[in-house]
Structure 1
């Protein structure tokens, strides 16, 4: 029997997962082929109608669902004082290690597991393409794939509805291209990558998650990175994902208001929503960019760029709010998306929260 689940948010984790959660709740973060919320079998909005209440940051992996099914009545799974799941009154605490998001880069750590579990091949005919292990490849009937090489020998590949894979594209699985995504000519897509709905990508991309409606359409490298929605990385924008001394990467943490050691050797960029970069922008290892930034640089800009930053480094300044709002609306209209009624209010909240960082 499938669980009926009610997801609840955690404000502390909401802060810790910024800038990815500046414009969305945790349940709306993307990994694998969908948002976290959509991966749960049966969801309800009313906690009283649910079999179990689950922290939205808990990752809905097969192992997680099995453990939740075993949670006794009136008990809670907890981790260091944080409630992860609760059945009934939840008054009996059980300490457990359920996988849940604590930092933005945790999404990347579980990419391969989500992609392998969610993609089922349909063994498409190659046509004028080269398919390796085609039994692990799924191509929607409405997708277009021309003159490309898809290698699913090390993981499955998903080509979704209305996706356009242009000539010369190279894809190594596991990888997913979601509704309406497009590659540019000669794109190189390496494993553990999700290209979200409506995105256009090119150059070389390795172990990245692109949230819906963002672009990195031209040459340049991006690895071990997450890009929020409605962002556009200009031609030859390139990000480093490995320190020269091969030491673990530290990144800016909104909860700590300072650097945090990730313990990971490969961490690229964590980029918020509505971020644009100019031609030839170089981004250092472990760079965090807040939402609504418009920036370019000759050298490497700082490894933390607060929301509403504008200009060419080192002469960054605050992005005029009205111009930032107009830019956000323009990008949404370009992607044929309706402008949310609360966009201005949401932007105002981010502006106020990040004011001290810009100053």
Structure 2
């Protein structure tokens, strides 16, 4: 089934619970572990996969043919992969009232809102515990499992580049360095989890790394960076200071001293020098978050900052415990940040002028030899209108 059928990764009607990351992307494009779900399933199947998401993000029609639809929020495992091969037309796999997958030979005009348990002739339960991303804090909470899964997927049967003699390493069998990467005069301890260094990445002198850890293509760890697992620094990111159990999805910078812990940073973000976040309440109590239209949700003991794409902080910004910052914000001001920062926030309470926001984003993208695309502009304009 997986090798012979086109794959579609779909969002669910609960995609809003992954704010702020689903403001600008499909769930299939959220990076956790080494890969995004889309990249992960392409590794598994050996072919391109399609996505089904909100229309303002992608309104491309699907190609003709039989389709296997898979929930983009699940990390695949052996049990699920075996069940997918047995699926028949109009059958679905269900986990805790979530549709995980279904197979159809009549996929025309399928929309996210159409995917309901009641729509199928037969459903089969997926038993056991699986990694399913319902809320944004799950991304860092399950990042260890995701890095381990992706590490085996990417490196199985392959040979790592030789580790330079200038480094001090523990458990070198758990370290994989891609061609073009530069790693010199560092301490890497992979005894607690694998360490993956992507193609053309650079780890500067004096860095200290504990797995599980993933450094994406052409990403940079600056001198003296301290990394605690499970952490992902995505492609083309620059990272420095102290980082623990966090994700930078791609093209973002946390290049200076300051603490980032139990956090997820979207793409094209920049944390000013000295920016730090709190990841635990002073009373050491559980962190409770309220999503629009939902009950209060327990996020556990630790949760740092969830930061949407294109958002930046001023130097020495202090981010509160469980801060949720939306898309395209410029965060500055005295004292601790607010715990909820809406899209297009300027400072504390003001709103970014759209034309300035777009110009500033384009300026930042030029620093990495890219430019704001028409698709990105359309998404940002849609969000600006709908978040007035």
Q: Are residue 69 (structure 1) and residue 105 (structure 2) matched?
A: no
Name the SS of the counterpart of 1:131 in structure 2: strand
Per the TM alignment, residue 15 of structure 1 is displaced from its structure 2 partner at its CA by 1.5
The answer for the alignment partner of 1:287 in structure 2 is 323
The answer for the alignment partner of 1:139 in structure 2 is 177
The one of 206, 212, 217 equivalent to 1:168 is 206
Q: Are residue 103 (structure 1) and residue 159 (structure 2) matched?
A: no
The one of 124, 147, 153 equivalent to 1:94 is 124
1:24–1:255 distance in 2 versus 1, CA, 3 Å: farther
Q: Distance in 2 between matches of 1:70 and 1:234?
A: 51
The answer for the alignment partner of 1:189 in structure 2 is 227
Per the TM alignment, residue 320 of structure 1 is displaced from its structure 2 partner at its CA by 1.1
Q: Distance in 1 between matches of 2:359 and 2:182?
A: 33
Q: Distance in 2 between matches of 1:254 and 1:329?
A: 31
Q: Distance in 2 between matches of 1:101 and 1:287?
A: 19
The one of 301, 311, 335 equivalent to 1:299 is 335
The answer for the alignment partner of 1:84 in structure 2 is 100
The one of 332, 351, 357 equivalent to 2:384 is 351
1:143–1:261 distance in 2 versus 1, CA, 3 Å: same
Give the RMSD, CA atoms, in angstroms: 2.2
Name the SS of the counterpart of 2:93 in structure 1: strand
> Residues 320-341 of structure 1: CA distance to partner in whole angstroms, max 9, x if unpaired?
1111011111111111124211
Per the TM alignment, residue 342 of structure 1 is displaced from its structure 2 partner at its CA by 2.1
The answer for the alignment partner of 2:146 in structure 1 is 114
Per the TM alignment, residue 132 of structure 1 is displaced from its structure 2 partner at its CA by 1.1
Matches within 5 A, 1:259-270: 260-270=296-306
Per the TM alignment, residue 8 of structure 1 is displaced from its structure 2 partner at its CA by 4.2
The answer for the alignment partner of 1:29 in structure 2 is 30
Q: Are residue 250 (structure 1) and residue 288 (structure 2) matched?
A: yes
> Residues 101-133 of structure 1: CA distance to partner in whole angstroms, max 9, x if unpaired?
221112222211121122247373332111111
Per the TM alignment, residue 301 of structure 1 is displaced from its structure 2 partner at its CA by 1.6
Name the SS of the counterpart of 1:246 in structure 2: coil
Q: Are residue 234 (structure 1) and residue 272 (structure 2) matched?
A: yes
Kept in 1, the 8 Å contact 2:137–2:299? The answer is no
The answer for the alignment partner of 2:362 in structure 1 is 329
Matches within 5 A, 1:2-17: 2-3=2-3, 4-10=5-11, 12-17=13-18
Kept in 2, the 8 Å contact 1:201–1:217? The answer is yes
1:35–1:228 distance in 2 versus 1, CA, 3 Å: same
Kept in 1, the 8 Å contact 2:172–2:190? The answer is yes
The answer for the alignment partner of 1:154 in structure 2 is 192
Name the SS of the counterpart of 1:78 in structure 2: strand
Q: Distance in 2 between matches of 1:353 and 1:38?
A: 30
TM-score, normalised to structure 2, is 0.84
Q: Are residue 54 (structure 1) and residue 55 (structure 2) matched?
A: no
Kept in 2, the 8 Å contact 1:74–1:91? The answer is yes
> Residues 61-114 of structure 1: CA distance to partner in whole angstroms, max 9, x if unpaired?
344323333445542113465432112474212244564322111222221112
Any stretches of 5+ residues in structure 1 without a counterpart? none
Q: Distance in 1 between matches of 2:206 and 2:78?
A: 36
Per the TM alignment, residue 308 of structure 1 is displaced from its structure 2 partner at its CA by 0.5
Kept in 2, the 8 Å contact 1:47–1:53? The answer is no
User: Number of matched residues?
Assistant: 350
Q: Distance in 1 between matches of 2:150 and 2:131?
A: 18
Q: Distance in 2 between matches of 1:49 and 1:333?
A: 40
The answer for the alignment partner of 1:220 in structure 2 is 258
